[in-house]
Amino acid sequence: MGILKTRKNKKYSYSPRHYQGGANPYKLEPKFDKYRKSTLQNKGLKGKFTTAWDDFKHNPDKKANRMVLIILAILIFAFLYIIDFDLSIFLS
């Protein structure tokens, strides 16, 4: 009946049909990891932030940097609007 015996997993030996060798075909790697310094080094949270900030400062693509700053400013203003921030506390 099989109550006391557990089932064994079936073994399946798979080899890709058109695999020529070389790198592991099963390794999943994000697209941009090899181009970014911040993902290659695991130095803790502070190290990740410092390398990401260095990437941001020394990025040759100024249009992308400007877009990040615009999005950040919009998010900050939206947050201040949601919490109903009042500038009159600085004027008096």
What per-residue confidence (pLDDT) applies to 76? Answer: 92
pTM above 0.75, yes or no: no
SS3 21: coil
Q: Does residue 74 sit within a domain?
A: yes
Q: Residues 12-33: what's their mean pLDDT? A: 72
Asked whether residue 7 is assigned to any structural domain, the reply reads no
Would 6 be classed as within a structural domain? Answer: no
Domain that holds residue 86: 42-91
Question: Two tokens at 4?
Answer: 């006391």
**Structure confidence by residue, pLDDT tens digits, 25-82:** 677 777 776 666 655 666 788 887 887 788 778 877 778 778 888 999 999 999 988 9
Q: Could you tell me if residue 26 is left (phi over 0), alpha (psi between -120 and 50 degrees) or otherwise beta?
A: alpha
**Does 65 fall in a domain?**
yes
